[in-house]
Chains A and B, each alone.
Chain A
Amino acid sequence: MKNKNIIYPFTGIVGQEKMKKALVLNIINPLLGGVLIRGEKGTAKSTAVRALADLLPTRSQVEGCAFGCDPREPANMCSECLEKHENQKTFVEAFGRMKVVDLPVSATEDRVVGTLDIEYAIKKGEKKFEPGILAQANRNILYVDEVNLLDDHIVDVLLDSAAMGVNTIEREGVSFYHPSRFILVGTMNPEEGDLRPQLLDRFGMVVDVIGERNPEQRIHVIKNRLAYEKDKEAFAGQFVDDQQDLRERILKAKKLLEKVSYSDEMLEMAVKISIELNVDGHRADIAMIKTAMTIAAFKGQTEVAPADMLEAAELVLPHRLRRTPFEEGIFNFDKVEQIINDVGSAHNAVV
């Protein structure tokens, strides 16, 4: 029966390189703002997200803290941990693996944001906060399948937390706040409806997936799937080494990321692209540089190169080019390429 719990290995997914890369980048750098995967049914969207669980690194957290606070990061601690920190108390450290926390489309608001602990109230006559999904999601991946079908008021709540990294609760007699910094991962089938632009913008990157067109690859996909269905353990066994490699690569990149720097030239590219393409606000510029830095780290470089910028632009821009709520974003990638080349050569000329 334990066979049942074996998830499809991430490295066993055929093709869909862009989607896989976007997900991996977000694990390396949780500040990238998550990823939205759009595509038709049966394109391994959910499989890929769930498969992430096996790749996630372990990290240190405060023992017994419901929000899994990082003992070394006072900036994002819950009020209890922060108080301990300020009173110079030492934390009991525990190690736990990052998780993929599911937010089902049918979730009710009280379960998402947390609510009054009824049992406790009845037994003790005192108020206590019962944490919800947003509490679990702190420092983890929050996964919303069919994110475009989420109820409006749940989306509002998500917006709040995703923006500030804090979940503020003022409901059902409870007044509370706690950190809720998560990597937002959503999957959706665009045929079933749009995502609100406000929520769309909260995703650091967007990847559009299409089914594999190449017949050979398609056969490969089916064979893998059938092999997995037949004997999950054996199938996963084939990928043990690949999985381990990728895990190590992620850890290495995580370490390297601290050392990655970006030149003024790269910064100029990011900003120029945003200005020329008329992107709303500053999020795109910031996301582009951060993503490029992460890409560089993943490649093992300590300096962002124009190629990284190009790759980053591809992930970060598609959903930010719309001027009206549903105007089709004409993604003129040539222009991006041109700007990158122009800025690059201009600087070379000066040097």
Chain B
Amino acid sequence: MQSYNQPWGSDSGRCPLTVKGYQLNKEKSENKSQDKRNKTIAYRFPFAAVIGQERVKKALILNLINPQIGGVLLAGEKGTAKSTLVRNLSQIAPNMEVVDLPLNATEDRVIGSIDIEKTIAQGKRSFGSGILKRAHGNILYIDEVNLLSEHIVNSILEVAASGVNHIEREGISFEHPSRFVLIGTMNPEEGFLRSQFLDRFGIYVAVEGSKSLVERKEVVKRRLAFEQNPAGFAKTWERDTEIQKNQIVEARKNLETVKISETVFKLTADIVNEAYCAGNRAELVMIETARALAALAGRQNINIDDIKEAAEFVLPHRKREKPNEPREPEQDDQNDEEFEEQPEENQDDAQNETDDENDENASESPEDQTQPEDTQAQETDETEADEPENEESESSEQPDLNEIMDRIDAVGRTFMVKNLDIKAIDRKKRKGEGKRIKTKTDTKKGQYIKSAMPRNTISDLAFDATLRAAAPYQRVRESNGLALIIKTEDLREKLREKRTGSTIVFVVDASGSMGAKKRMETVKGAVVSLLTDAYQKRDRVGLVSFRKKEAEVLLNITRSVDMAQKCLKDLPTGGKTPLAAGLLKAYEVIKNEQRKNDDILPIMVLVSDGRTNAALMEGDPFTEAMEMGKRIAGEGIQTIVVDTEVDFIKLGLAKKLAAAMCARYYRIEDLEADVLAEAVRDLSKESSF
């Protein structure tokens, strides 16, 4: 175990800060604008007046007492005073302010860059500090943190890890300490954070609105009173604010006297072990949190309750599945955990994705593709009995397979979808992190992230960067009456980033056989889950179903995942299985869309058991489907096959089809994020895909 005194290792430069050190490090005069911002505090909603949300408040206070906890991530539904609490934290924070990092921030402002004015005046490069400098010794707050640009996230991660902001850009080499309490708020509906980032937040609190009638009434009353007279309202809470602030000051003094016994170390290690957290950060954060809790209570010893409470704060976003073992079926709270589990998987998958993104190309051999899935299939075979849906369907009575009557099944259970390795064959340079696809756009659309030297002719000039490039030379350049002379070599262009979703066409088998054993219910549940995933990734979706004799376009490509869901809900099942027709229809939909927009990344998701019994023309229906599949693969359309086969005797037709289409193959039960055991993940890492 690392020694307590150097929790982040000595080489990282992030030696533990004492609270005193924190105050000493402050350089307040640096930023006038931030000071001004805080002037309006008198007119803001008082921290102390927020009702309920005790855990959120406590989490924030603990970080003020002991900044080494490493920040808070607040995740939860909208309208629960998340931002209000954080933004007004400086009211009760002795000597700390809240530094905002808005989503539209560009790199130069985050890490700092050339100060144009000074540079022009002095004729030599001079550093202008950015947000990270301002955040030093303060609170860095990111609202909607899950929407932050990948680029900015990386910069912050680096600094958060080392405590130093190292700038090497635009001819400037500069370094300054930047240690801050990182606070993020987010609504999980919009997607989650990658695990590396997630882990940076010391503690995690899920936020919920109060359910108590009395409390809620008070919430409304206070809000309205505040809106009517902000200054007056703030005044009535001055005393409470002062009390809270003093409490924190006291606790800070106590903090250094809190002793950590061997038992505490051991207990913490045991708890963390139980939770299968990666790395050692969990222990460290837990001890720091427990220390702050003890200090807050005015004790010098950490007791069991402190540790328990600390664990509740520290573990939710770090907890992982027990490796090498299938999921326990009785875990009822699994649903909650799926959210937290997801990013871990995401991360690993994303890692794989980016790692082999470069040498990835269209002609991946089917053998390579299916190899890991083989093992995966075996793995899940063993766990099959644990799957609730299967149990249910096995016991339910069997309706006639060739049922002529149409039926409409309800949407079955939905779940968090694991990251499907979608690697599109692409004509533009894209990177597959976080959101499914991030495109560096050529057009002027998208968010301006950073600037670069122009490659060809410039169409999207980055004025700010150009000025910065020109600034140092102004003294030596001949004046033409303007303050600035810009030459061609100064020109920079904007690099923009746009979250482009893919275009996904779902091809759903709605034949009679799907109506059996509640299978359609499961399928609908799975597709809705995929749609949720598609929503978060800003995909566009289309829906094709095939049944009886023909395939039907239920929904043309749209951004409205809403509509897709409605269509799906009303989808009846019954009749024969014209698989080839379904594939053909989906292919046509994609081709049509490509004609309109050359830029799309088409993905076809086939949900079927592959048991086709109706051909387009004469001949064997399955052979026909295989032919169609090959053609689609030949067109470079990325495909995923979701196998719905649950019968005892497996024909494996869908799998064969998947191989022919060079498709990713998933059995329907494997789609769920945490069904895949760690073992499978490791295997897929080893294999070469």
Give me 26 A-to-B residue pairs in the complex whose CB atoms sit less than 8 angstroms apart, sorted by A's number.
A86-B39, A109-B448, A116-B463, A118-B463, A121-B116, A121-B483, A123-B484, A125-B121, A125-B483, A127-B117, A152-B498, A170-B101, A170-B110, A172-B462, A173-B108, A191-B563, A193-B558, A197-B189, A271-B220, A280-B79, A281-B209, A289-B224, A290-B224, A324-B414, A325-B561, A326-B531
A20 contacts the other chain (CB 8 A): no
Give CA–CA (A49, B275) in the complex, Å: 55
Are A192 and B558 closer than 8 Å at their CB atoms? yes
CB neighbours of B102 from chain A (8 A):
157, 160, 168-170
Query: Smallest CB-CB separation from A125: which chain B residue?
Result: B483
Query: When the two chains form their complex, are residues A172 and B79 in contact, meaning their CB atoms are under 8 A apart?
Result: no
Q: Which residues of A contact B531 (CB under 8 A)?
A: 326
B244 at the A/B interface (Cβ < 8 Å)? no
Question: Chain B contacts of A83 at CB under 8 A?
Answer: 36
User: How far is B230's CA from A283's CA once the two chains are assembled, in angstroms?
Assistant: 18
Contact A110 B448 (CB under 8 A): yes
What residues on A are CB-neighbors of B419 within 8 Å?
Answer: none
Asked if A272 is an interface residue, CB under 8 A from chain B, the answer is: yes
Given that A123-B483, A325-B561 are contacting pairs, would A153 and B103 also be in contact in the complex, using a CB cutoff of 8 Å? yes
Partner-contacting stretch, out of A9-17, A60-68, A74-82, A229-237 = A74-82
Interface positions of B from 554 to 589, Cβ below 8 Å from A: 558-563, 565-566
Judged by a CB distance under 8 angstroms, whether A308 is at the interface is no
Interface residues of B in 471-527 (CB under 8 A from A): 474, 482-484, 486, 498-499
Our pick among B37, B113, B120, B187 for the contact of A198 (Cβ within 8 Å) is B187
Q: Tell me whether A159 is interfacial, beta carbon within 8 Å.
A: yes
Contacting residues of chain A (153-187) with chain B, CB-CB under 8 angstroms: 153, 156-157, 159-160, 163-164, 168-177
B227/A31 in contact, CB under 8 A: yes
Q: Are A193 and B560 in contact, with the CB atoms below 8 A?
A: yes
Tell yes or no: A51 within 8 A of B by CB: no
* A307: Cβ under 8 A from any B Cβ: no
In the complex, residue of chain A having the shortest beta-carbon distance to the beta carbon of B77 = A280
Which residues of chain A come closer than 8 Å to B101, judged between CB atoms? 170
- Closest chain A residue to B486, Cβ basis: A122
Check if A125 sits within 8 Å of B209, measured CB to CB. no
Decide if A170 touches B120 in the complex (CB within 8 Å).
no
- The answer to whether A126 and B117 have CB atoms under 8 Å apart is yes
Which single member of B80, B190, B463, B484 contacts A172 (CB below 8 Å)? B463
Query: In the complex, which residues 226-270 of chain A have their Cβ closer than 8 Å to any Cβ of chain B?
Result: 264, 267-268, 270
Q: Which of B196-237 contact A (CB under 8 A)?
A: 209-211, 213, 216-217, 219-221, 223-224, 227, 230-231
Is the pair B104, A275 in contact by a Cβ cutoff of 8 Å?
no
Q: Is the CB of B230 within 8 A of A75?
A: yes
Which single member of A75, A152, A153, A282 contacts B220 (CB below 8 Å)? Answer: A282
Closest to A289 in B: B220
Interface magnitude class on chain B: 35 or more
- B80 & A281 in contact (Cβ 8 Å cutoff): yes
Contact B116 A151 (CB under 8 A): no
Q: Given A109-B448, A171-B448, A286-B223, verify A177-B104 contact (CB < 8 Å).
A: no
Chain A residues numbered 75-119 whose CB sits less than 8 Å from any CB in chain B: 75-77, 79, 82-83, 86, 108-110, 113, 115-116, 118
CB-CB under 8 A from B37, the residues of chain A are: 79, 177
- Stretch from B3-11, B250-258, B341-349, B439-447 contacting the other chain: B439-447
CB <8 Å contact, B558 and A282: no
A328 within 8 A of B: yes
CB neighbours (8 Å) of B108 from chain A are 171-173
CB contact between A326 and one of B209, B444, B468, B565 (< 8 Å): that residue: B565
C-alpha spacing A87/B187, complex, angstroms? 41
Q: Which residues of B contact A151 (CB under 8 A)?
A: 445-446, 498
Chain A interface extent, by class: 35 or more
Within 8 Å CB of B484, what residues of A?
121-123, 125
Query: Please, how many angstroms separate the alpha-carbon atoms of A176 and B79 in the complex?
Result: 26
- Flag if A170 contacts B83 (CB, 8 Å): no
Q: A79-B36, A274-B216, A326-B562 are in contact. Are A201 and B483 (CB under 8 A)?
A: no
Which residues of chain B come closer than 8 Å to A177, judged between CB atoms?
A: 33, 37
In the assembly, what is the distance between CA of A93 and CA of B269, in Å? 66
A284 at interface, CB cutoff 8 A: yes
**Chain A residues, CB < 8 A from B535:** 194, 325-326
B79 with A281: CB separation less than 8 A: yes
**Is B109 in contact with A285, judged by CB distance below 8 angstroms?**
no
Which B residues from 524 to 569 make CB contacts under 8 A with A?
531-532, 535-536, 538, 558-563, 565-566
Beyond the given A170-B131, A325-B561, please list 6 additional residue pairs across the A-B interface where CB-CB is below 8 A: A126-B483, A153-B499, A281-B209, A282-B219, A286-B220, A286-B223
Across-interface contacts of B448 in A (CB, < 8 A): 109-110, 171-172
Q: Once the chains bind, are A272 and B213 in contact (CB under 8 Å)?
A: yes
Which B residues lie at the A interface, using CB under 8 A? 33, 36-37, 39-40, 43, 77-81, 83, 87, 100-106, 108-110, 113, 116-117, 120-121, 128, 130-131, 143-144, 147, 187, 189-190, 209-211, 213, 216-217, 219-221, 223-224, 227, 230-231, 414, 444-448, 462-464, 467-468, 474, 482-484, 486, 498-499, 531-532, 535-536, 538, 558-563, 565-566
Q: Which of A31, A110, A125, A170 has the most CB of B within 10 A?
A: A170
Query: Contacts of B444 on A, CB cut-off 8 Å?
Result: 108
- B144-A159 in contact (CB<8A): yes
A127 and B80 alpha carbons, distance in the complex (Å): 38
Interface string of A133-158 (1 = CB under 8 A from B): 00000000000000010011100110
Contact residues in B for A124 (Cβ distance below 8 Å): 483
Given contacts A157-B104, A198-B144, A281-B209, whether A326 and B77 have CB atoms under 8 Å apart is no
A280 to chain B, nearest CB (A): 4
Residue pair B106, A82 in contact (C-beta under 8 Å): no
Q: How far is the CA of A197 from the CA of B191 in the complex (A)?
A: 12
Contact of A194 among B79, B113, B116, B561 (CB under 8 A): B561
For residue A85, which residue of chain B has the nearest CB? B39
Which residues of B sit under 8 angstroms from A327, Cβ to Cβ? 565
Q: CA of A170 to CA of B444 in the docked complex: distance in angstroms?
A: 20
Q: Indicate which residue in B106, B216, B498 contacts A170 across the interface (CB closer than 8 Å).
A: B106
- The answer, among B130, B216, B474, for a CB contact under 8 Å with A282, is B216
Q: For the complex, is A220 an interface residue (Cβ under 8 Å from B)?
A: no
A306 adjacent to chain B (CB < 8 Å): no
A270 touches B77 (CB 8 A): no
CA distance A172 to B543 in the complex (A): 42
Shortest beta-carbon distance, A152 to chain B, in Å?
Answer: 5
Is A318 close to B, CB under 8 A? no
Does A198 contact B78, Cβ atoms closer than 8 Å? Answer: yes
CA distance A221 to B224 in the complex (A): 40
Contact yes or no, A285 B483, CB < 8 A: no
List residues 34-51 of chain A with CB under 8 A from any CB of chain B.
none
Chain A nearest CB from B237 CB (Å) reads: 15
What residues of chain B lie closer than 8 Å to A198, measured between beta carbons? 78, 144, 187, 189-190
A196 within 8 A of B: yes
**Contact A172-B464, Cβ < 8 Å, known A108-B444, A160-B143, A177-B33:** yes
B1 to chain A, nearest CB (A): 40
A283 to B81, CA, bound (A): 9
> Please, how many angstroms separate the alpha-carbon atoms of A177 and B37 in the complex?
8
Question: Would A125 and B117 count as touching, CB distance under 8 A?
Answer: yes
Q: Are A193 and B559 in contact (CB under 8 A)?
A: yes
A344, CB-defined interface residue at 8 Å:
no
Asked if B559 contacts A283 (CB within 8 A), the reply is: no
Q: B79, B144, B227: which has the most chain A beta carbons within 10 Å? A: B79
Tell me if A57 counts as interface (CB < 8 A to partner B). no
Residues of A within 8 A of B414 (CB): 324
In the complex the two chains form, what is the Cα distance from A275 to B217 in whole Å?
A: 11
Please tell me which one of the listed residues B446, B486, B558 contacts residue A153 in the complex, with CB atoms under 8 A apart.
B446
Question: What is the CB-to-nearest-CB distance from A340 to chain B, in angstroms, rounded to a whole number?
Answer: 15
Contact A156 B563 (CB under 8 A): no
Contact indicator A173/B116 (Cβ below 8 Å) = yes
B210 partner residues in chain A, CB cutoff 8 A: 282
Residue in chain A with minimal CB distance to B531: A326
Which A residues touch B219, using CB under 8 A? 282, 285-286
Among A118, A177, A289, A326, which residue has the most Cβ atoms of chain B within 10 A? A326
